[in-house]
Chains A and B, each alone.
Chain A
Amino acid sequence: MKDIACKLLVIGAGPGGYVCAIRAGQLGVDTVIVESKRLGGTCLTVGCIPSKAIIHAAEEFHKARESAAGANPLGITLSDPQIDLTKTMAWKDGAVGRLTSGVAGLLKKAKVKIVEGVARFTDGKTVAVETETGLQIIRAEAIVIATGSAPVALPSLPFGGPVITSTQALALAEVPGRLIVVGGGYIGLELGTAFAKLGSAVTIVEAESRLLPLYDAELTRPVTKRLGELGVKVLTGVQAKGLAAKGGALLVAKGDDKELRLDADKILVTVGRRPLVDGWGRDELALDMDGRSVRIDEQCRTSMRGIYAIGDVTGEPMLAHRAMAQGEMVAEFVAGHKRGWDKRAIPAVCFTDPEIVSVGLSPEAARRGGAEVLVGQFRFSANGRAMTKLDDDGFTRVVARADNHLLLGVQAVGHDVSELAAAFALALEMGARLEDVAGTIHAHPTLGEAFHEAALKALGRALHG
């Protein structure tokens, strides 16, 4: 096969990689992208997008079931709603398919060459790709490693049999009767909640003392409360010890206590993700590492000249939108523009029930940073829109510097608050002060009014709270 020579080679077509390739192509950089699975990577094919589809389907089904049970205050009644999970999955696959073919179209439009196969570095300038038709050698002036991440397995609970990954959970043909979720981070809670709404009896096993340990307790409280209402059993401070010898069951224990047997049809392990730093010939290179991830600098450059790394392979926070921003930046940098990572905030969203958004610093983190802070919090129970949607649990909270009122962080927990991430991040990125948010007209009746009120409250002049 004839060798390919190009200016930029991107390894991995996840959200980081494909954005990088599209942007480079738009800028006239001769670009090749290699992907071993499907375009779109974890996010589009087995992560963010399909999980949101399942979460939405579960939500709809759950509402219908509540209506059928006579628990609908809107006066809607239904009888005996059913869900055909194979149809749900087909619908989900359709949505994923539309998005991945959209990515292919965008890459084509940007004149990016797509090579399917597993890439392997042979040296710092050359990559060999095992394609269906043979070995393809690609030489590039610049190479971007965008290999992403993979679910972490527990040594005591290797994947296989009833023990499944999030990827497998998103492709189940039927709703498991009893589902145990090991790991109470955002992935476990999102999927656990969805399956509970689809009808599974769900138990969540978390080794830490509380769920979502990365968020403060105030933010996670409405989520914990809702899990209880959905009948999800939550065991915290408990370790998964392994499969029971006989039959589908998980053994768990609190510290050194006696092991407890939890019967299960499926056991979903979501204890985090690890950067994919192997399988692409890292041994042929001399890359400095930063713990388990590839070390990068302000321009996403690795320790080797001409080799960049973006996205999950560079470590936390492993978020698609971070990878996209890095990919865009690297493409422009390779095209000769002056660029550097100068983002002020990377929003984080949990699509739990209710949803959690966090941008910037929490009050505690801000105080730890030495700042004297003002905090303003506004509950959705006083927000008209939240009330008329029957979901008024949660709040919006702003954190600002006491001396100049500069916003340091914004968080919210509540139904559909994920959409507020845009406003929060924009405010932080623009360097807004409390007065800027307070002085902006927020449309009525919307959830965004809570942002306005929280800012007013921090200034000591709330109107509705």
Chain B
Amino acid sequence: MGEHVIKMPDVGEGVAEAELVEWRVKVGDLVREDAILAAVMTDKATVEIPSPVHGEVLWLGAGLGDVVAVGSPLIRLKVEGGDASAAEAPKIEAAPRAAAAPKPAPKPRGPAPIPTNAPRAEAEKPLASPAVRLRAREAGVDLRQVHGSGPAGRIEHGDLDAFFARGAPQAKSAGLARNDAVEEIKLVGLRRKIAEKMTIANRIPHITYIEEVDVTALEELRAALNKQRRPNQTKLTLLPFLMRAMVRAVAEQPEINALFDDEAGVLRQHGGVNIGIAAQTPSGLVVPVVKHAEARDLWDCAAEVNRLAEAAKAGATTRDELTGSTITITSLGALGGMATTPIINHPEVAIVGVNKIMIRPHWDGVGFIPRKMMNLSSSFDHRIVDGWNAAIFVQKLKTLLETPAMIFVEA
């Protein structure tokens, strides 16, 4: 008998620590070689940690959400024979979540394996007797949501009882009732990262400036361009136009495309315009970055935004794609809203918020005419950008967007 210590592996990219986001085992579990023990998260990527040996779990070295330094003990296993002091950090393969498939378990001898609760495939009907099905239907319960504890995953009366006892959305009918429940949810993973970033950003004294932009001409141009686009070109949204306009505007105000190191008291004005695009994903907000927008044309910007958005939705964005922005655009898209107060993506000094395009009446001196209007809600780091300069920047954007030809004409 010996003990095997598994340490937090080096998850690459020079990362010194990683956050534990999931335990797949508990003390007392028997684990096979290659079985996944835990999942840890570095800045953005999640990595699974496989077991290098067979053994029994004796001790878990961290709780969910703990940040564990590379090389510190993570888990202790009791193993057959072997060196009592054996300790190693499992090798992590390059691709996250691509841990080697566990070897097939040896075929058990003797009686057939009984509780093969193969999970239900999506389209498969829940397995239940007619009486259970009727009871569920009368209670308004969709059996697909009920766990079946019976053989082959069959849903029994007891499973329905348990479902009801859990206070499932049962036919408890109307009636208002007090709810004193408090559920504690420990922030882990991306949600914690977001919370940390926002706390830092909150130190920044923001100035937010909201201006209305008439995008009627821009929308006409966009529609015309989309109509004649080639099949290999991404459909244009408003974003690429805004990005190109921002490139023009920051050329005149380089202090706005900059990173402020407030501890060192240094402002780094960047020549390259790397535009972060705030994107909502199932697990929370991420900001993939369109690198060097100044060197991309309109179609190129559109294609890159599209590619990054798809990757973000699929959770396939790389670390590199999520870092290095110098200024950020945030858009709530179709959800819109009249105005927002965007929070600066630290250590940047400016963020441009796009609000929903709406048709509003416009007084042209004779009568009201319908125009497509959109608000820009932009925030600036007031330590760097004075209100006056913020207004100049936004007015420049407005001018460019209202007469979109100016975006493309050489200055």
Q: Which residues of A contact B (CB under 8 A)?
A: 337-340, 342, 344, 401, 403-406, 429-431, 433, 435-436, 459-460
Q: Which residues of B contact A429 (CB under 8 A)?
A: 129-130
Complex Cα–Cα for A429 and B128 (A): 8
List 19 extra interface pairs beyond A338-B140, A405-B112, CB under 8 A: A338-B138, A339-B137, A340-B137, A342-B130, A401-B152, A403-B116, A404-B116, A404-B118, A405-B152, A406-B127, A406-B152, A429-B130, A431-B127, A431-B129, A431-B154, A433-B151, A433-B152, A435-B112, A460-B112
The answer to whether A431 and B138 have CB atoms under 8 Å apart is no
Report the nearest A residue to B133, measured CB to CB.
A342
CB of B101 within 8 A of chain A? no
* Bound: A433/B125 CA distance, A: 15
Q: How large is the interface on B (under 10, 10 to 19, 20 to 34, 35 or more residues)?
A: 10 to 19
Rounded to whole angstroms, the CA-CA distance of A401 and B153 in the bound complex is 13
Residues of A within 8 A of B129 (CB): 429-431
Q: How far is the CB of B190 from chain A (nearest CB, A)?
A: 35
Interface membership of chain B positions 25-57, coded 1 if the CB is closer than 8 angstroms to chain A and 0 otherwise: 000000000000000000000000000000000
Among A339, A342, A436, the most chain B Cβ lie within 10 Å of the Cβ of A342
CA distance A339 to B138 in the complex (A): 8
Kindly list chain A residues whose C-beta atoms are within 8 Å of the C-beta of B114.
Answer: 435
**Contact B152 A431, beta carbon cutoff 8 Å:** yes
Which residues of the partner chain B approach A460 to less than 8 Å between Cβ atoms?
Answer: 112
- Measured CB to CB, the closest approach of chain B to A163, in angstroms, equals 44
Considering the complex, give the chain A residue whose CB is closest to the CB of B153: A404
Bound state CA distance, A430 and B128, in angstroms?
6
In the bound complex, residues from chain B placing their C-beta under 8 Å from that of A340 are 137
CA distance A337 to B139 in the complex (A): 11
Which residues 127-149 of B have a CB within 8 angstroms of A? 127-130, 133, 137-138, 140
**Shortest CB distance B289–A (Å):** 43
A401 to B116, CA, bound (A): 11
Compute how far the CA of A433 lies from the CA of B150 in the bound complex, rounded to whole angstroms.
11
Chain A nearest CB: distance from B152 CB in Å? 4
A404 CB contact (under 8 Å) in B117, B128, B137, B138: B117
Give the docked Cα–Cα distance between A405 and B118 (Å): 10
The answer for the CA separation of A436 and B151 in the assembled complex, in Å, is 9
On whether the beta carbons of A337 and B153 are closer than 8 Å, the reply is no
A22 and B116 alpha carbons, distance in the complex (Å)? 44
Instruction: Specify the chain B residue showing the minimal Cβ separation from A461.
Output: B112
- Chain A residues closer than 8 Å to B153, beta-carbon distance: 404
Chain B residues, CB < 8 A from A430: 129-130
CB distance from A147 to the nearest CB of B (A): 28
- Residue from B112, B133, B152 having most chain A Cβ neighbours under 10 A: B152
Which of chain B's residues have a CB closer than 8 A to the CB of A403? 116, 118
- Tell me which residues across on chain B come within 8 A of A405, comparing CB atoms: 112, 116, 152
Return A186 CB to nearest CB of chain B, in Å.
Answer: 27
Q: Please give me the 6 A-B residue pairs with the lowest Cβ-Cβ distance, nearest first.
A: A404-B152, A431-B127, A404-B118, A404-B116, A406-B152, A430-B129
Listed A/B pairs (11) with beta-carbon separation below 8 Å: A337-B138, A340-B137, A342-B130, A342-B133, A403-B116, A404-B117, A405-B112, A406-B152, A431-B128, A431-B154, A460-B112
B112 close to A459 (CB less than 8 A): yes
- CB neighbours of A337 from chain B (8 A): 138
- CA distance in complex: A337, B127 (Å): 22
B115 to chain A: closest residue by CB: A404
Give Cα A339 to B136, complex, Å: 10
A435 to B112, CA, bound (A): 9
Bound-state Cα–Cα, A460 to B107, Å: 15
Chain B residues, CB < 8 A from A401: 118, 152
Residue in A337, A404, A435 whose Cβ sees the most chain B Cβ within 10 Å: A404
A342 and B137 in contact, given A429-B130, A459-B112 (Cβ under 8 angstroms) = yes
| Residues of chain A with a CB closer than 8 A to B127's CB | 406, 431
Contacts of B130 in A (CB 8 A): 342, 429-430
The closest CB in chain A to the CB of B171 belongs to: A338
B265 to nearest A CB, angstroms? Answer: 66
Distance of A340 Cα from B140 Cα, bound (Å): 12
Q: Taking CB as reference atom, which chain B residue is nearest A400?
A: B152
Q: How far is the CA of A404 from the CA of B150 in the complex (A)?
A: 12
Residues of chain B contacted by A433 (CB below 8 angstroms): 151-152
Q: How far is the CA of A338 from the CA of B141 in the complex (A)?
A: 11
Nearest-Cβ distance from residue B153 to partner chain A, whole angstroms: 7
Within 8 Å CB of B154, what residues of A?
431
Q: A404: which B residues are within 8 A, CB to CB?
A: 116-118, 151-153
Residues of B close to A459: CB separation below 8 A: 112
Roughly how many angstroms separate A431 CA and B112 CA in the complex, as a whole number?
19
Q: Which residue of chain B lies nearest to A342 when distances are taken between CB atoms in the complex?
A: B133
Whole-angstrom distance between the Cβ of B107 and the nearest chain A Cβ: 13
Measured in the bound complex, the distance between the Cα atoms of B112 and A337 in whole Å is 43
Neighbouring A residues of B138 by C-beta, 8 Å = 337-338
Give chain B nearest CB distance to A298 CB in angstroms: 11
| A459→B111 CA distance, assembly (Å) | 10
A401 to B151, CA, bound (A): 13
Residue on A nearest B152 in the bound complex, by CB: A404
Smallest Cβ-Cβ distance to B121: which chain A residue: A370
A340 to B133, CA, bound (A): 10
B137, A435: Cβ atoms under 8 Å? no
Closest chain B CB from A389 CB (angstroms): 33
Q: Which residue of B lies closest to A436 (CB)?
A: B151
**Per-position contact with A for B154-171: 1 when CB-CB < 8 Å, else 0?**
100000000000000000
Name the A residues within 8 Å of B116 (CB-CB): 403-405
Q: Is the CB of B133 within 8 A of A435?
A: no
| Interfacial chain A residues near B137, Cβ < 8 Å | 338-340, 342
Compute how far the CA of A348 lies from the CA of B114 in the bound complex, rounded to whole angstroms. Answer: 31
A216, chain B: closest CB distance, angstroms: 24
Q: Across the two chains, which residue of chain B brings its CB closest to A429? A: B130
For B137, the closest partner residue in chain A by CB is A338
When distances are taken between beta carbons in the complex, the residues of chain A under 8 Å from B150 are: 431
Can you name the residue of chain A whose Cβ is closest to the Cβ of B125? A344
Q: In the complex, what residue of chain A is closest to B155 when comparing beta carbons?
A: A431
Query: How far is B367's CA from A160's CA once the two chains are assembled, in angstroms?
Result: 83
Complexed CA–CA distance, A403 and B112 (Å): 11
Residue of B at shortest CB range from A430? B129
